[in-house]
Amino acid sequence: LGKRDNAASLQGDATEALVRWLPPGSLEAIYINHPEPPQQAALSASASASVAVEAESLSDTSEAKHMLNERLFAAAAISLQPGGTLTIVTDSAFYADLLLDSLRAHTTFEPAT
């Protein structure tokens, strides 16, 4: 971070941090790097339970636990300044498509130009 005194890194529930600790409109940008895709969480859970997961069940993420959900997007929208940016980096094409659909449904966010 060099000489920056206005940056922070968080490990934990980002939604709680945005809601409890940051005033509305206080962030210029939010960066989320490589969140765990829901199908990876589903596979991890099934492996520990020794249960096979079928590929088609991965497309239904309503039961798969993942941190990037409507609650987080709503908190991010409130925490960002007007014109602020939400940047999400993932190497999962499946998750990228899911996130794009979710963000398109959340009318507060606009695609980057």
Tokens 């990037």 correspond to 68
Task: Evaluate whether 26 touches 18 at the Cβ level (below 8 Å).
Answer: no
| The pLDDT of residue 94 is above 80 | yes
85, β-bridge pairs: 29
- pLDDT tens for 15-65 read 999 999 899 999 999 999 998 887 665 555 555 444 444 334 444 445 346
| The pLDDT of residue 105 is above 70 | yes
pTM above 0.85, yes or no: no
Distant-in-sequence, close-in-space partners of 74: CB < 8 Å, separation ≥ 6: 106, 108
| The pLDDT of residue 99 is above 50 | yes
Q: Is 81 helix (H, G, I), strand (E, B) or coil?
A: strand
Q: Grade residue 12 by pLDDT with cuts at 50, 70 and 90.
A: confident
